[in-house]
Amino acid sequence: MIKKNNSNPFQHETVALIERLVPLSGSAFFLVNPDMQHSSALLYNLAPDAERDYRTEYGALDPLSPERFADSDETVVTLDSRIAPHFLKQTLYYQNFMVPHNHRYVADMFFRREGRIIAGVTILREESMGNFLSQELELLRKVQPFIEFSLNESYLPQRDHQRQGVASKYDLTERELDVLECVLRGSTNKDIANQLSLGLATIKTHLHHIFRKTDVNVRSELVAKVMADLNR
């Protein structure tokens, strides 16, 4: 939940750290639900509909989908290590998702809690940038334990505590909390619909319920009230 801005500070700083280590053309920091689906994604230099397209159509086709590594202990993997380039370019995933969003080389970093993947960072490169070098991948593997430790010991406990507190006070559902979290980040209804893969009408219904439960009439009142609760 954390604060009203365009991205969560922990996610933003993690992406900034990775960008200082390796050249990239785009990236996405995402949490992973128990059903192994993306949530609460922060996109860097990617169109907002990229995450929506991934979640609704192409995630199941992704050779680096988190669920494919559920029984693995790998921390950093590349797309080209999972599928030969000539086979990749024949796939719908490459032709209909990767090419339109202008990325060719992909490395994913996974973070776990008690063996389960709970978050990840996707690191993207345009074709002109070339593939990831072995020394770059080694750098990512060295920094991964620090990010994973910080995620488990600081960010996620704080986030869970805040969500539980707000849910208890206002009797909000998990999905209403997801919508509220997006509102606190400054997302528009369209942004929220893309991030949560929901229709605009559904987002408006959730917001109506949130307004009623928190006894506010407009978005600015909602943000002010919840931020006051979180800062107490």
Last residue of a domain, one of 161, 184, 218: 161
Same-domain check for residues 41 and 143:
yes
Ranges 21-25, 87-91, 152-156: which has the least confidence = 152-156
- The answer to whether residue 141 is domain-embedded is yes
Same-domain check for residues 98 and 202:
no
Same-domain check for residues 175 and 144:
no
Same-domain check for residues 16 and 97:
yes
Same-domain check for residues 22 and 94:
yes
Q: Residue 109 is encoded by which pair of tokens?
A: 């970093």
Higher per-residue confidence, 33 vs 217: 217
Per-residue confidence (pLDDT) for residue 139, from 0 to 100: 97
Cα–Cα distances in angstroms (integers) from residue 26 to residues 22, 86, 104, 125, 131, in the given order = 11, 23, 11, 7, 14
Higher per-residue confidence, 122 vs 41: 122
Which DSSP symbol is given to 151? I
The CATH number covering residue 14 comes to 3.30.450.40
Same-domain check for residues 188 and 150:
no
The model's confidence at residue 187, banded by pLDDT at 50, 70 and 90, is: confident
The CATH number covering residue 224 comes to 1.10.10.10
Instruction: Give 134: exposed, middle or buried? Use CB within 10 Å, 0-12, 13-18, 19+.
Output: exposed
Q: pLDDT per residue over 94-148, tens digit each?
A: 999 999 999 999 999 999 999 999 999 999 999 999 999 999 999 999 999 999 9
- The answer to whether 55 and 143 have CB atoms below 8 angstroms apart is no
The model's confidence at residue 87, banded by pLDDT at 50, 70 and 90, is: very high
Same-domain check for residues 154 and 211:
no
Same-domain check for residues 207 and 156:
no
Range of the domain at 202: 171-230
- Mean pLDDT (the chain) is 89
- The answer to whether residue 166 is domain-embedded is no
- The answer to whether residue 214 is domain-embedded is yes
The model's confidence at residue 231, banded by pLDDT at 50, 70 and 90, is: confident
Domain count, the chain: 2
Same-domain check for residues 212 and 183:
yes
